[in-house]
Structure 1
């Protein structure tokens, strides 16, 4: 998970300018948001599956719901090897 100190300074400055928050509060806010969205897709799917099963949902309903949620959720990108990055660039 990203640490508060890892927050992009330009993003923190933008939050300060657009909200009037103090820089330390903006830095903590950005860090909290980054940490929230740092969950890898696989972890998110497993966690949501377990949560929905707790409420008695069945797999077809669960997988449909998780698929819909993922369309609107920011999740951490997987770590890519240099080879995978090259294939994205050069095909």
Structure 2
């Protein structure tokens, strides 16, 4: 279940039912939950389907990556400590 406060906010601001809002939130979270590698492979396959050449495809993907948030990698406790304490 996604964050209840977020679901409530989406439902209130859109007129969706709580169940519909939850599905929307889950879908958006899943969409942005892709890793960089998954995104690049998916977009490359998409562009190949439409006959784009790799040179053009990679340039497009590089531009897209600059605007897209990605799921954070899993970090160990040690890595988290290093972020905080250096």
User: Normalising to structure 1: TM-score of the pair?
Assistant: 0.79
Give the structure 2 partner of residue 57 of structure 1: 53
Q: CA RMSD in A?
A: 1.6
Count of residue pairs the alignment pairs up: 85
Q: What secondary structure, in the 3-state scheme, does the structure 1 residue paired with 2:53 have?
A: coil
Structure 1 runs (4+) greater than 4 angstroms displaced: none
List gaps (5 residues or longer) in structure 1: none
List gaps (5 residues or longer) in structure 2: none
Give the structure 1 partner of residue 21 of structure 2: 26
* Cα deviation, residue 30, structure 1: 0.7
* Cα deviation, residue 64, structure 1: 2.2
Give the structure 2 partner of residue 48 of structure 1: 43
* Cα deviation, residue 72, structure 1: 1.3
- Which of 69, 72, 77 is matched with 2:72 structurally? 77
